[in-house]
Chains A and B, each alone.
Chain A
Amino acid sequence: MINSNILAGMIGQQLSVAGGCASITNTTSTFISGSGTVLHYVPLTGYYRYGLNVWLMTASELGSAKQFTGLELSKAYTEPSGMTHNNQTLKMYHTTASTLPATINTSGTFGSALTLTGANAGLTVTDETTVLNGSFYHSAGAGWKSMTFGTNFCYNGTDNVVFMWINNAGYYDVSNYPYWDTDSTSASSQKGGSDYSDSSGMTSVSRSNVRPHLKLKY
């Protein structure tokens, strides 16, 4: 019997849905879009060399099982030129936690090896999937900026999902860097966390009430 739900993009990721992953529907939907502050560091900065961002989305926000193939971020302003952020890693996880702990710890070396797995007693995560390990380019203009995942994330339709974005000195220009639209409504309460530095990567972030505006492709 041929299982048409198992597609090429699923190679290398853990599957949590019995019988395989949801089919790709070629849909792009907005999942986070509430009122908030324009920020340079959520979910990635070019004004500082290093950054770490974590955010949680609930099953009620995400809906039924999906195979996530990419995302879009909302760039708030037009900048002098487009930018390529190298050394970016984005990981996604399933979790039963409904909020993030006050301090979100990581383990491993800062960069692509950094992980949330087993790092927090109050945030048990499973099915770690590295959806991006490389570069993210966005053009100069304001608006939604798209990324296609290198490995898709098989969302099980039941649990919540945690995102961890690692910016390992990939792009730095204090005169030309992006600003992103963020949400700080009650929907994002205790569901965000970020930090940034010029001197080194970080091993933990403090919880905040901020998440990036986000579209997901599935």
Chain B
Amino acid sequence: MADFDALETELNAKGTRIVYMVKHTENVVVFYYNDIQDTKQAMDALVQSYLTNYTVTSTLENGEYKGDATI
């Protein structure tokens, strides 16, 4: 069982939340943060560590980390 709240807490510590949403009976996690200082690889690894069975797709452009995870 994925810990969505813990992931949200971790992401909130990395930047400014625009969207964090768990939807469609937990089949989709949407995340969109700005003011991110980390690399895309580091952010993806963080998300994937909490959502191990999900497929994570994302972009990081101009400090904006944006993507989703689906299962």
Partner of A77, one of B21, B24, B62: B24
- Contacts A38-B70, A40-B68 aside, 14 further interface pairs with beta carbons under 8 A come to A37-B55, A38-B27, A39-B70, A47-B30, A47-B66, A76-B24, A77-B23, A77-B24, A77-B27, A175-B21, A179-B28, A196-B59, A198-B61, A198-B66
Residues of B near A175 (CB, < 8 A) are 19, 21
Nearest A-chain residue to B23, judged by Cβ? A77
Q: Is A41 interfacial (CB-CB < 8 Å)? A: yes
Residues of B15-49 contacting chain A, CB below 8 A: 18-19, 21, 23-24, 27-28, 30, 32
CA distance A174 to B23 in the complex (A): 13
Hey, which bits of chain A sit against chain B, CB under 8 A? 37-41, 47-48, 76-77, 174-175, 179, 196-199
A-B contact pairs, 22 of them (CB 8 A): A38-B27, A38-B28, A38-B70, A39-B57, A39-B70, A41-B57, A48-B66, A76-B24, A77-B23, A77-B24, A77-B27, A77-B28, A174-B18, A174-B19, A174-B32, A174-B66, A175-B19, A175-B21, A179-B24, A179-B28, A197-B61, A198-B64
CA distance A40 to B61 in the complex (A): 18
Main secondary structure of the interface of A (DSSP, over half): loop
B27 touches A174 (CB 8 A): no
Nearest A-chain residue to B64, judged by Cβ? A198
Partner of B70, one of A37, A196, A197, A199: A37
Residues of A near B32 (CB, < 8 A) are 174
The distance from the CB of B35 to the nearest CB of chain A, in whole angstroms, is: 16
Residues of A near B66 (CB, < 8 A) are 47-48, 174, 198
CA distance A40 to B28 in the complex (A): 10
Nearest A-chain residue to B62, judged by Cβ? A199
Nearest B-chain residue to A39, judged by Cβ? B70
A198 touches B68 (CB 8 A): no
Residues of B near A39 (CB, < 8 A) are 57, 70
Nearest B-chain residue to A196, judged by Cβ? B59
CA distance A37 to B21 in the complex (A): 19
The distance from the CB of B2 to the nearest CB of chain A, in whole angstroms, is: 16
The distance from the CB of B49 to the nearest CB of chain A, in whole angstroms, is: 19
B59 touches A197 (CB 8 A): yes
